[in-house]
Amino acid sequence: MSIVLIAVTVFAALFLLVAGILIVLSRRRDPLEKRLQSIRGDKLGSGESAQTTHSLEGLIAIDPASFHSLRADLTHAGFRGKHAVTWFWVWRILLAVGLGALGFYLQQYFRGELFKVLIPAGFVLVGFIAPHMLVQSRVQKRRDNIRRAIPSVLDLIIVCVEAGLSLNAAVQRIAKEMRHTYPELAMELMVLNQEIFLGFGRSEAFRNLAMRTGVDELRSLATVLMQSDRLGTSIADVLRVQADILRTKRRQSAMEHAQKMPVKLLFPLILFIFPELIVVLLGPAALGLYHTLTGMR
The rounded distance, in Å, linking the Cα atoms of 224 and 210 is 12
pLDDT above 80 for 17 = no
Instruction: Give the pLDDT confidence score for residue 20 in this predicted structure.
Output: 63
The rounded distance, in Å, linking the Cα atoms of 57 and 38 is 17
Nearest to residue 55, comparing CAs of 216, 168, 194, 174? 194
pLDDT above 50 for 271 = yes
pLDDT above 60 for 33 = no
- Give tens-digit pLDDT for 57-104: 444 445 544 456 788 888 888 887 777 888 888 888 888 888 888 888
Q: Name the pTM for this structure.
A: 0.66
Give the least confident one: 2-16, 134-148, 270-284. 2-16
Most confident of 61-70, 194-203, 279-288: 279-288
Each domain of the chain, given as residue ranges in start order, spans: 2-144, 147-250
| Helix locations, 167-234, DSSP H | 167-177, 183-197, 202-213, 216-231
The one-letter amino acid at 237: D
pLDDT above 50 for 210 = yes
The rounded distance, in Å, linking the Cα atoms of 297 and 289 is 13
Average pLDDT over residues 156-182: 86
- Give tens-digit pLDDT for 93-146: 888 888 888 888 887 777 777 777 788 888 888 888 988 899 999 998 998 888
Mean pLDDT, all residues of the chain: 77
Average pLDDT over residues 25-49: 50
| Helix locations, 27-83, DSSP H | 31-40, 46-61, 69-76
What are the DSSP calls for 6-32, one per residue?
HHHHHHHHHHHHHHHHHHHHHTSPPHH
Instruction: Give the pLDDT confidence score for residue 297 in this predicted structure.
Output: 56
Give the least confident one: 22-31, 64-73, 99-108, 244-253. 22-31
